[in-house]
Structure 1
Amino acid sequence: MSVNVEQYAAISNELAAKKVTLVAVSKTKPVADIEALYALGQRDFGENYVQELVDKQTSLPGDIRWHFIGHLQSNKVKYIAPFVYLIHGVDSLKLLKEIDKQAAKNNRTIQCLLQVHIASEETKFGMDEHELAEALAQLHLFSNVKVCGLMGMASFSDDETKVRNEFKVLHQLFLKSAFSDPASAILSMGMSGDYKMAIEEGSNMVRIGSLLFGARVYP
């Protein structure tokens, strides 16, 4: 088992005290590792790949809250629509429309976060400020999605000032955005390397993988 039990206990206690939700990023990790964290009480798990998520969901307990945190293609939404708990990376109105459509087919309301591009790297996905405003203005058109917050990924950089400023930008956009349930609105930012800084800048949901599971092993 590659789960770091002591690290998990320390991080989960730290986050619980700050009322921050821990999403354990389990992509590329075996079912046994997820079961180990589940046995310790973890229920929120994040996956990046649709097929891997579908395969894991069928063989793990039904009360796991599955977060899709990768780049989601519109033609793949139908595979996770029956069970996904929260889709983090909604980066276009086209994708939001497809999620709404597939949610309706499954008689569900799917929770979503709008992804904002805050990093300097062009490889990262997300809306700019104008696209975000446009999306928020059209939320009333969707009856089977609940947009409950924002998500963003900071630059992969050792420059802490740069990363912190990117988090600050996203937090300001979050505060200016109108969500249906402001008291429970989600700001998902921060990963293994920068989650402490993200929390200092207003994050209330972090996505942590390698600190819990060890370095990823890619096939």
Structure 2
Amino acid sequence: MSIKDNLLRLRESVEPNATLVAVSKTKPISDLQEAYDAGQRHFGENKIQEMTDKWETLPKDIHWHMIGHTQRNKVKYMAPYVHLIHGVDSARLLKEINKQAYKNNRVIDCLLQIHIAEEESKFGFDQQELLELLASKDFNDYKNIRITGLMGMATFTDDQEQVRKEFKSLKTLLDHINENNLIHESHKLKTLSMGMTGDYKVALEEGSTMVRIGSAIFGSRA
């Protein structure tokens, strides 16, 4: 099937309840252009340099999502244009994003990454760290970032019930923050970024509003 066919098929199951982010990392410009021509506007990359090269080449109405682990020293390269940073996993990274957003006269939307998987390799805040961050003075002084939701990656396993439990925990955490007004009103926790090619259907059932799908659109990576 073509990229266009894959996108049309996925949109039927994802939209209108969630945003489909096409994970285009390592894929050539021609593949992204094909997806763009099929109406796709949200693209996800995991390397800032590669994303910047693509941003410079492709149409300017694309929304670029930084979905990988973000190095603080690279934030300045994407600060002029990035639409949403998914993997904010430390207070130090948040501080750097705020600084670079200020230099570019922007407010940059971010998701806080929560560690929901059993694997140690995944990045993110645990629940206690998150609540401490939200209550901190530094966090509430930042004027050039807007936290729009949470992101999490489930354990890489065939056990669908474990995956479901992890996604459910993230939705519960988001609801807990909103219902108890634990975040300043300048931030709006509406986005729940969870679900990839292998588990997006479970994620949608558990309340995901944004899924990150690559191989089901572009084919497997070399």
TM over 0.5: yes
Structure 1 unaligned regions, length at least 5: none
SS in 1 for 2:192: strand
Shift of residue 184, structure 1, vs aligned partner: 6.8
Aligned equivalent of 1:112: 110
Opposite residue 127 of structure 1, the aligned amino acid is: F
Give 1:126's aligned residue. Answer: 124
Q: Deviations over 1:79-124 (max 9, x none)?
A: 1101000000000111000000000000000000000000011111
Aligned to 1:188: 193
Q: How does 1:92-111 map to 2 (within 5 A)?
A: 92-111=90-109
2:150, 2:189 within 8 Å by CA — same for their partners in 1? no
Gaps of 5+ in 2: none
* Runs of 4+ displaced beyond 4 Å: 181-184
Question: Identity over aligned residues, as a percent?
Answer: 55
Q: Which amino acid aligns with 1:154?
A: A
Partner Cα separation in structure 1 for residue 188 and residue 110 of structure 2: 16
Tell me the CA shift for residue 3 of structure 1.
4.5
For 2:202 and 2:149, the matched residues in 1 are separated by 19
Q: Which residue does 2:172 correspond to in 1?
A: 172
Cα deviation, residue 4, structure 1: 2.9
Alignment of 1:36-51 (within 5 A): 36-51=34-49
Which position in structure 2 is the counterpart of 1:206?
211
Letter of the structure 1 residue corresponding to residue 62 of structure 2: I
Q: Which amino acid aligns with 2:60?
A: G
Per the TM alignment, residue 8 of structure 1 is displaced from its structure 2 partner at its CA by 1.0
What TM-score comes out, normalization by structure 1 length?
Answer: 0.94
TM-score computed with the length of structure 2 as normaliser: 0.93
Matched residues in 2 for 1:23 and 1:177: separation?
25
Aligned length: 215
What is the CA distance between 1:189 and its match in structure 2? Answer: 0.1
Corresponding residue of 2:50: 52
SS of 1:82's equivalent in the other structure is: coil
